[in-house]
């Protein structure tokens, strides 16, 4: 094993994002707080597609994405206290934060203004870029590394690291408990995990989608109700039927946010958790908010404490995201990206077979 050259699969150009290629990179020099992780599984998150298409800017190349990473610790820095070699761990959307600002020192390091994304990020001290989990190894601070409970398999745990955490956090924020009426807009990667978590918390869950095409599968996921926003008069028919709406859909271009919000009872909360292209805005009339006592909020990932809690909750309640595993290589990454781009996966691709590919190449 060479710890100083990591092997990855990523894009060489944002225009040709559909042509992933193998490359090697030099990781940032190991700091005392860093752990080296030999990767064994990585989920393919919707964020991966946004990043490689340049939706969030075009910071550097080559770029390996992937931030739903599970692997084994192989080396620890001198100040690492949480882990030892052999531990099975996970990494999500962030790999570092400043550690000094008010947010970092008050348990919200995931909202640190200087936080470093696991890929598509730059370490402020060194200017070195981060590379994600479509790679043989990753080197990250122990602060954003988490022990995986033994009864969660790596394929199941991988999607929880970003998508699962992202879906779980707004349910905590909204105080979801037994009987809370939760609506989930969008039945995809993050949406299906949000449904699984909300059900496990005892909520009465409604799936909200543009048509009836996902009704059957939503019922299989365990939802109690289903609303199609193409149904004439749906906003009036189901008015006041929800306490919380979590929006996991990527865009509101086809449905006015106002009509979907009308499903909320007074004091309802509408929480946005997916990251659309940077230029997308939502339009809301303040009068509409005050007349209904609505709150509109955003939520990104979770803090380190949230992540530990989420993993234990998932283990205790046997939360099982629906995954399709594929062996990592250039061709299969290309296929998976193209299928995900068309929404053709139920519901999460997880890259596996790292040994096979990286030991051979």
Q: Report the alpha-carbon distance of residue 226 to residue 218 in Å, rounded.
A: 8
**Least CB distance from residue 103 to Zn ion, whole Å?**
5
Residues 343 and 163: their CA atoms lie apart, in Å, by 16
- Those residues with Cβ within 8 angstroms of residue 112's Cβ, 6 or more apart along the chain or in another chain: 97, 98, 101, 103, 104
Count of C-beta atoms within a 10 Å radius of residue 74:
15
Q: Is the dihedral of CA 160, 161, 166, 169 positive or negative?
A: positive
CB of 108 to Zn ion, least distance (A): 9
Least separation in angstroms between residue 53's CB and Zn ion is 14
Check: CB of residue 65 under 8 Å from CB of residue 120. yes
Between 46 and 268, name the residue whose CB sits nearer to Zn ion: 46
State the distance between the two ends of the chain, measured CA to CA, in whole angstroms: 13
Instruction: Pick the closer one to Zn ion by CB: 101 or 296.
Output: 101
Kindly tell me which of 80 and 104 has the beta carbon lying closer to Zn ion.
Answer: 104
Q: Which residues bind Zn ion (CB under 5 A)?
A: 45, 47, 97-98, 101, 104, 112, 162
Distance of closest approach, residue 302 Cβ to Zn ion, in angstroms: 12
Q: How far is the CB of 44 from Zn ion (least distance, A)?
A: 9
**Nearer residue to Zn ion within complex by CB, 112 or 273:** 112
Q: Which is nearer to Zn ion, 9 or 161 (CB)?
A: 161
Give the three-state DSSP class for 207: strand
For the purposes of burial, counting CB atoms within 10 Å of the CB of 296, is it exposed (0-12), middle (13-18) or buried (19 or more)? middle
Least separation in angstroms between CB 112 and Zn ion: 3
Angstrom distance (rounded) from CA 168 to CA 189: 13
Sign, CA torsion 260/284/250/129: negative
Could you count the other beta carbons within 10 Å of the beta carbon of residue 145?
27
Shortest separation between residue 99's beta carbon and Zn ion, angstroms: 6
Taking the least distance from each CB to Zn ion, the nearer of 97 and 130 is: 97
Nearer to Zn ion, 91 or 162 (CB): 162
- Taking the least distance from each CB to Zn ion, the nearer of 227 and 350 is 350
Query: What minimum distance in Å lies between the beta carbon of 165 and Zn ion?
Result: 9
DSSP labels, 131-162: --SSBSEEEEEGGGEEEPPTTS-HHHHHHIII
Start-end of H helices in the chain:
46-53, 102-105, 154-159, 165-173, 189-200, 215-221, 234-237, 257-261, 286-292, 304-316, 330-341, 354-360
CB closer to Zn ion, 263 vs 271: 271
Nearer to Zn ion, 241 or 325 (CB): 325
| Helix locations, 227-329, DSSP H | 234-237, 257-261, 286-292, 304-316
What is the rounded distance in angstroms from the CA atom of residue 170 to the CA atom of residue 273?
8
DSSP secondary structure code for residue 11 in this structure: B
CB of 248 to Zn ion, least distance (A): 12
């Amino acid at each position: 094993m060479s710890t100083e050259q990591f092997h990855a699969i990523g894009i060489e150009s944002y225009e040709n994002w559909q042509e992933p290629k193998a490359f090697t990179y030099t990781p940032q020099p190991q700091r005392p707080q860093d752990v080296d992780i030999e990767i064994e599984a990585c989920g393919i998150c919707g964020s991966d597609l946004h990043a490689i298409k340049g939706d969030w800017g075009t910071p550097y190349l080559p770029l390996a994405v992937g931030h739903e990473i599970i692997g084994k610790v192989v080396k620890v820095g001198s100040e690492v206290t949480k882990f030892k070699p052999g531990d099975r761990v996970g990494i999500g959307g962030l790999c570092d934060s400043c550690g000094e600002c008010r947010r970092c020192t008050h348990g919200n390091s995931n909202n640190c203004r200087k936080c470093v994304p696991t890929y598509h990020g730059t370490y402020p001290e060194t200017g070195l870029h981060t590379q994600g989990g479509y790679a043989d190894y990753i080197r990250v601070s122990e602060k954003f590394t988490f022990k995986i409970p033994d009864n969660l398999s790596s394929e199941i745990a991988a999607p929880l690291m970003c998508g699962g955490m992202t879906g779980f956090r707004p349910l905590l924020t909204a105080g979801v408990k037994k009987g809370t009426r939760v609506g989930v807009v969008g039945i995809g990667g993050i949406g299906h995990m949000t449904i699984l978590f909300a059900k496990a918390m005892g909520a009465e869950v409604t799936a909200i989608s543009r048509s009836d095409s996902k009704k059957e599968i939503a019922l299989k996921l365990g939802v109690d109700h289903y609303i199609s926003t193409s149904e004439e008069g749906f906003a009036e028919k189901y008015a006041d039927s929800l306490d919380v709406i979590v929006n996991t859909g990527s865009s509101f271009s086809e449905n006015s946010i106002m009509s979907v919000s009308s499903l909320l009872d007074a004091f309802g909360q509408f929480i946005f958790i997916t990251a659309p292209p940077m230029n997308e805005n939502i339009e809301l009339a303040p009068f509409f908010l005050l007349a209904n006592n609505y709150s509109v909020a955003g939520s990104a990932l979770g803090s380190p404490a949230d992540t530990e809690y989420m993993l234990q909750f998932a283990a205790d309640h046997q939360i099982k995201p629906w995954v399709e595993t594929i062996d990592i290589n250039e061709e299969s990454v290309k296929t998976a990206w193209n299928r995900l781009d068309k929404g053709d996966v139920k519901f999460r691709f997880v890259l596996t077979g790292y040994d096979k590919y990286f030991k051979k190449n």
